[in-house]
Amino acid sequence: MIKINLVCMGFLKENYWKAAVDEYAKRLSRFCTLKIVEIEETVNQNITLALEKDAKKISPYLKGYVVVLDVLGKELTSPQLASKLDKLSQTTSEITFVIGASNGLSEKIKSVADERMSFSLLTFPHQLMRVIFLEQLYRAYTIINNIAYHK
């Protein structure tokens, strides 16, 4: 079973976000081993310095095939994401996805990633993005496994 790591800057505070994440994590457990890592965002008036500090915190968790969520990354349809996951599962045992903080991710983290993926040109709060990502991950696995959910 493939291991999916989701590295997230920031914490979920509200119970409704936690409940949504828990629900998708439960659903995903039949398709992958999911590990969610929450990292405290560096708060600093100097954005560049904050991003550099965050990069040091993120780096130890970058394992396997690394995908950063980046507004300027490649957009995929749900079937394309499913196809990518299916192909990657044949060549790697671990995929790490990274969701940045409110100021995004440092160029250092983006440059070491194998891929940059965008879910939209819109900006989403990191809590909502985590739920959107997990829902799309679940949708991708239902497509791969021909389960009616994705219709």
- CATH number of the structural domain spanning residue 62: 3.40.1280.10
Pairing of strands 94-99, 115-118: unpaired
pLDDT band at residue 16 under the 50/70/90 scheme: very high
Q: How many domains does the chain have?
A: 1
DSSP string for residues in the chain: --EEEEEEES---SHHHHHHHHHHHHHHTTT-EEEEEEEPPPP-S-HHHHHHHHHHHHGGG--SEEEEEEEEEEE--HHHHHHHHHHHTTT-SEEEEEE-BTTB--HHHHHH-SEEEES-SS---HHHHHHHHHHHHHHHHHHHTT-GGG-
pLDDT tens-place string over residues 23-70: 999 999 999 999 999 999 998 879 999 999 999 999 999 999 999 999
- Domain carrying residue 136: 3-150
Asked if residue 150 has pLDDT above 80, the reply is no
Mean pLDDT of the chain: 95
The number of residues making up the chain comes to: 151
What's the whole-number mean pLDDT along residues 102-111?
93
- The amino acid occupying position 119 is F
